[in-house]
Structure 1
């Protein structure tokens, strides 16, 4: 076992690709044994998110000179956050399960909420 970032013990050297699909760019990083082996940044194609994701994935592998496909894939996106902030997108409904003493009405949210329980 080898120490990784912040002293965390790396139990496995399984390659991991992390991909973040953003409104402008899709970023990818290939991590092997806790070290960044390759990165990529490609423009996000809003009409083909899978194409942007695949392109970033392949470029990160190429940047690392890696021929082995990763075992783990970590995917994230800011597209939904961007849509909320920019006031775009279709109307949606939020489901809320309030904890003890919490009142959903007190949150001051400006969209419909269906309280459960």
Structure 2
């Protein structure tokens, strides 16, 4: 395994662990504030989740574009396997966007239970 592949996989693993912790913390926040009946933190969390969804989608699109560029432009073949690593990162970003979208929907459901007028 080359050093580039090792560093890339380490980076992806660290980012995945941090995102999993953040997603779990957001889920706990939704259940806590949903049960206590507070709507302001749920609104803030829903807005933050929308920003995270946009970030993850942007990263997935950027990884896809870079992967296509590596395939089409021969001078970008400096690191063997870079296109596969970028494709994996793009899939991982789409997974995180999907999880954040599910959390945003859960926050919306909790908001409807807390404040039915909205």
TM-score with structure 1 length normalisation?
0.23
Does 1 or 2 have the higher relative contact order (CA < 8 Å, sep 6+)?
2
TM-score with structure 2 length normalisation?
0.23
Higher strand share: 1
Structure whose CA Rg is larger = 1
Higher helix share: 2
